[in-house]
Structure 1
Amino acid sequence: MLTGSQPSPPQEISTFKGQEQASLRAGRLGTAGLLLSVLAATAPLMTVAGVMATTYAVMGVVGLPLLFVILGVIMALFGIGYAEMSRHVHNAGAFYAYIARGLGGLAGAAASYVALVAYSALQVGVYGIFGFEVSVLCEKFFDLTVSWWIPALLALLLTGVLGALKIDLNAKVVGIVLIVEVLLVLVIDFAYAADPGPEGLSLHAFNPDTLTGAGLGTALCFTVAAFLGFEQAPVYAEETDRPQTVVRRVMFLAVGIIAVFYALTAWLISVATGPGGVVDAARKESSGLIFTLAEPRLGTAFTDVLHIFFVTGAFACMLAFHNVVSRYAFAMGREGLLPRAVGRASASTGAPAFGSLLQTLISVVVVGAFVITDDKPDGDPTAPVLRLFTWMGNVGALGVILLMTVTSVAVIAFFSRRGAARVQAGRLLCSGLAALGLGFVFVYAVKDFDVLLGAGPDSVLGWVLPGIIGVAALVGLTVGLVLRSRRPQVFARIGLGNQAFELEKQAEKAASDGH
């Protein structure tokens, strides 16, 4: 019979395939499919055009390439403990499952709602910039005025449909788009290198003295968004063919690729303008910087192609985040943190269809709220970009940074409680350093949230929007307390994933034997 205490899990947890609707379909993804799925969330063109230009412009930090190197080190340190944890816990609820196994069910319940809200915010926010960019392209190529919310809602519906289909099909869709995006950015990089600005191929951007201007911590908050995606690999652990090997490999490949690719691109942008002029150029051109720099070097036709694939890349990003949210919802429903129906996979596709439907409904509500409150003329970016995309993107990034920080602590607790601290000493040291680094970024993100939003220092948004993450944690904690008090057998399963159903069968057998 189950008790209210967390049962001691075995050394290795295998994906339970005995109940098709209680588990995601195993063996759908290999290394390539998983790598493409997680990298799609980084949206290369959106990152290069948006994150990089914004960091140069708002923060005035010439050393942006060096920031990517610094963050790459922090993420690699985080990944060492995170990857080791993924070998022991295979659960679509990755972050909250790891936190539950390390810090207990209450912490896990709170983390589950933070993850759900954070990734939902990241996904929904992209609809804003997608809709706006499509409306701009319609105006440019077809002389047709289209409100931003029309393409946004069409994309929302298509994303919902794809999210309920086989994950390997999704991986192919986002993979093709991602590969084209990367190739286009590489063409831009070569063009900048071949035709540098007035200072030539200067390495000045890698000089530590360039990390000046606004606070380093706040600048790191901007650039951390470029890395969001690699941490999603364990979410698909139940659907990979060899999770102990594949998930670990993909995470380190993703971190390395992101750090090198973006550091190189950020450096070559500074080369194209000259390090001394990159901040002024970014402030003048904003997100149009890379297009302005590319056009005289590669021609108008190429920049038109860039704009088109900026849009398709945004769609791939939406789909990638949608898949993550639906799997978190699935895991939470399976373990009693959400209604049980959400924790059932489609019998035909093996995908979390109800989780996908839930995220689609959430997206309709949030996008609808921004549509209703949009009183600007068509073509104005205020509602779709400066509000929906910027607000939701920063809320989501803040939540993920918090989850990564707490997970690093949970990794230390997990292995220490198992008596493996000495064996895992090196990995636990890396997790501790990652917790310090990520905690530093999180504190600055909360402190300077108004700067991240581009709002004034007295704006209520500076505390209302971060408060969304706090409310999510409080809701999750409340759900956990209720489950611990009223349904201890359900509370005891938080973080166990597929094992929960084996425990449930044991409980049912014990109950029947008792009669």
Structure 2
Amino acid sequence: MPTGSPRSTSSNLRTGSAAPYTARTGPGISTFKGQERALRADRIGTPGLLLSVLAASAPLMVVAGVMVTTYQVMGIVGQPLLFVILGAVMALFSVGYAEMSRHVHNAGAFYAYIARGLGGTIGAGASFVALAAYSALQVGIYGIFGFEIAGLLDRHLSLHVAWWLPALLGVLVTGLLGALKIDLNAKVLGVLLVIEVALIAVLDLAFAAAPGPQGLSLHAFDPTTLGGAGLGTALCFAVAAFVGFEQAPVYAEETSRPQTVVARVMYLAVGFVAVFFALSSWLIGVATGPDKVVASAGEQGPGLLFALTGPRLGTTFTDILHLFFVTGIFASMLSFHNVVARYAFAMGREGLLPKALGRTAKSSGAPALGSLLQTVIALLVVTGFTLGDDKPAGDPTAPVLQLFTWGGNVGALGVILLMATASLAVIAFFVRRGAGRAQAGRLTAAGLAALALLTVLGYAVTDFDVLVAARQGSVLRWLLPALIAIAAVTGLVHGRVLRATRPETHARIGLGNEAFQLEKLDQAAAPPPSDTEHATPAPHKES
């Protein structure tokens, strides 16, 4: 292979050997900061990455929780059609996002892309939004995890425990796994996900084989079923169900072939989620009957899925389903934890957070301090909700209706904002580099995705009181969304300060530990510099 090829250059940078050019993006801006600032490469391939990102979507939690809640609260019979429509939107988003992933390999994912397209200051704002959003999503899941574990112990072992005991245990176990090798995490997530999907497939077949009084009706795919005041909020719930596939670029530095693996995984994940969720939500309606699904969800709540499963597959299968409902929740917690740890690592490496966070563990190559940071945040938040919980152990008010619901919707709001901004950044990125005409199709897709996502964002902000089940006039309506706004403003101010006081740090935002991929290709095609000009120095430890 020629010395100047992208693969050999990446290898040289990882091993610290001399390379024919400096990894830089402009005069004096070196992006290689040492092996201890690099995630361990070649840890995860297409199957492992696909399983990791799909685990975040927690299929069983979505089917049993999000889908039933959407039927119950919003009264939208056409929920399956909603998943099809949003699947198309997410596919449009993925077109530009996947193309960007071929050129930027950075654990900072969203904020790295936004920085490369819209500038370092906006990238800094996006980094804090990403950290806040994924932290909220991850920590919120501990609420429903603790509540469900406590319920299982009570029903099957007659052991009465408060929800926060298993929640805190979950925090510690997740933190431990998060500091280990990503390939080990992928195996844990993969096993849990495969079992989870298999169980859903079995109950889907059972619903299709024994439908309700209206048979295999396709009424749910009639566009008229999307009418009603709850459409905007139902859109937000459905978008939250898709959250997870966009995490693939976070692992780009740890994949074997990031130029192809990341994009492939995103397309596979979007296609799987859209088809799988549309099919499952349709069959829930088929099992009850389309004219009864809203009323049944109102009566049964999240227990509807298990109530439909029992008569068709027996109590033993229902108990197994409930058990893996809990393990699916755990898999989602671990997946989001890994993402937050890598965002913290990327931000520490680039000077947006303390430098210590930007180092990896020697034994595992994982961002151990980033994992520790998220573990501490989770302990503090769960402890805070524990101290404020004066309800009986079986009351879901604090763990589910507050911690889980608030965290999930705040996080989803932040991710929608990031996705819309990233779509605009993709357009700016290629246009500024003179590739607008060559990438016209992808940029059109990104523009359409941005419009659709901004529309959903508007609905989310307007109907946030419904999303979090807040009473009319409650301060939560503006206080919870304000957390994302505060994160954005904090990041923007921090970015401006860095630009004024530490311009070299500001210039590196979004670049990671190696030079920007397109510029590496340009330099590889150019004549090699002289021995005394732009030579890559051997890696050195920073003070």
Amino acid at match of 1:269: I
Provide Cα deviations, 1:363-389, integer angstroms capped at 9, x if missing partner. 111111101111111111000000000
Structure 1 residue 242 corresponds to structure 2 residue 257: yes
Contact 1:20 1:347 in 2 (8 A): no
Residue in 1 that maps onto 2:195:
180
Residue in 2 that maps onto 1:73:
88
Instruction: Identify the range of structure 1 (453-462 vs 393-402) with the bigger mean alpha-carbon deviation.
Output: 453-462
CA shift in 2, pair 1:61/1:501, >3 Å: closer
**Mapping of 1:377-396 within 5 angstroms?**
377-396=392-411
Residue in 2 that maps onto 1:428:
443
Amino acid at match of 2:252: A
Structure 1 residue 278 corresponds to structure 2 residue 293: yes
Alignment partners' CA distance in 2, 1:88 and 1:70: 29
Residue in 1 that maps onto 2:470:
455
**Mapping of 1:162-311 within 5 angstroms?**
162-311=177-326
Q: Secondary structure at the match of 1:299?
A: helix
Alignment partners' CA distance in 2, 1:14 and 1:234: 17
Alignment partners' CA distance in 2, 1:508 and 1:179: 45
Structure 1 residue 113 corresponds to structure 2 residue 113: no
Deviation at 1:456, TM superposition (A): 2.1
Amino acid at match of 2:208: A
The alignment yields a C-alpha RMSD, in angstroms, of 1.9
Alignment partners' CA distance in 1, 2:105 and 2:479: 35
Provide Cα deviations, 1:411-444, integer angstroms capped at 9, x if missing partner. 0000000000000000000000000000000010
Alignment partners' CA distance in 1, 2:328 and 2:41: 27
Contact 1:11 1:88 in 2 (8 A): no
Amino acid at match of 1:191: A
Amino acid at match of 2:157: F
TM-score relative to the length of structure 1: 0.95
Contact 2:103 2:516 in 1 (8 A): no
Structure 1 residue 481 corresponds to structure 2 residue 496: yes
**Mapping of 1:314-393 within 5 angstroms?**
314-393=329-408
Amino acid at match of 1:286: G
Alignment partners' CA distance in 1, 2:152 and 2:516: 50
Residue in 1 that maps onto 2:156:
141
TM-score relative to the length of structure 2: 0.90
Deviation at 1:221, TM superposition (A): 0.2
Contact 2:143 2:404 in 1 (8 A): yes
Deviation at 1:47, TM superposition (A): 0.3
Residue in 1 that maps onto 2:55:
40
Alignment partners' CA distance in 2, 1:95 and 1:276: 41
Residue in 2 that maps onto 1:20:
35
Alignment partners' CA distance in 2, 1:11 and 1:104: 25
Contact 2:76 2:230 in 1 (8 A): no
Contact 1:217 1:440 in 2 (8 A): no
Amino acid at match of 1:489: E
Contact 1:415 1:421 in 2 (8 A): yes
Structure 1 residue 404 corresponds to structure 2 residue 404: no
Instruction: Identify the range of structure 1 (13-22 vs 171-180) with the bigger mean alpha-carbon deviation.
Output: 13-22
Residue in 2 that maps onto 1:446:
461
Provide Cα deviations, 1:73-92, integer angstroms capped at 9, x if missing partner. 00000000000000000000
Residue in 2 that maps onto 1:4:
none
Deviation at 1:137, TM superposition (A): 0.2
Unmatched segments (≥5 aa) in structure 2:
17-33, 520-532, 538-543
- Aligned pairs, number: 499
Amino acid at match of 1:331: A
Alignment partners' CA distance in 2, 1:52 and 1:14: 44
Alignment partners' CA distance in 1, 2:536 and 2:257: 31
Alignment partners' CA distance in 2, 1:83 and 1:14: 20
Residue in 1 that maps onto 2:523:
none
Deviation at 1:508, TM superposition (A): 11
Structure 1 residue 492 corresponds to structure 2 residue 507: yes
Alignment partners' CA distance in 2, 1:376 and 1:317: 27
Amino acid at match of 1:182: V
Alignment partners' CA distance in 1, 2:218 and 2:192: 31
Contact 1:196 1:272 in 2 (8 A): yes
Alignment partners' CA distance in 1, 2:223 and 2:421: 29
Q: Secondary structure at the match of 2:102?
A: helix
Provide Cα deviations, 1:5-30, integer angstroms capped at 9, x if missing partner. xxxxx999958424331100000011
Residue in 1 that maps onto 2:430:
415
Amino acid at match of 2:406: W
Alignment partners' CA distance in 2, 1:211 and 1:11: 49
* Pairing partner for 2:327 from 309, 312, 321: 312
CA shift in 2, pair 1:452/1:506, >3 Å: farther
Q: Secondary structure at the match of 1:88?
A: coil
Residue in 2 that maps onto 1:150:
165
Alignment partners' CA distance in 2, 1:110 and 1:97: 11
Residue in 1 that maps onto 2:26:
none
Unmatched segments (≥5 aa) in structure 1:
1-9, 510-515
Deviation at 1:454, TM superposition (A): 1.3
CA shift in 2, pair 1:500/1:88, >3 Å: closer
Residue in 2 that maps onto 1:512:
none
Contact 1:197 1:271 in 2 (8 A): yes
Alignment partners' CA distance in 1, 2:347 and 2:246: 18
Alignment partners' CA distance in 1, 2:378 and 2:35: 28
Residue in 1 that maps onto 2:24:
none
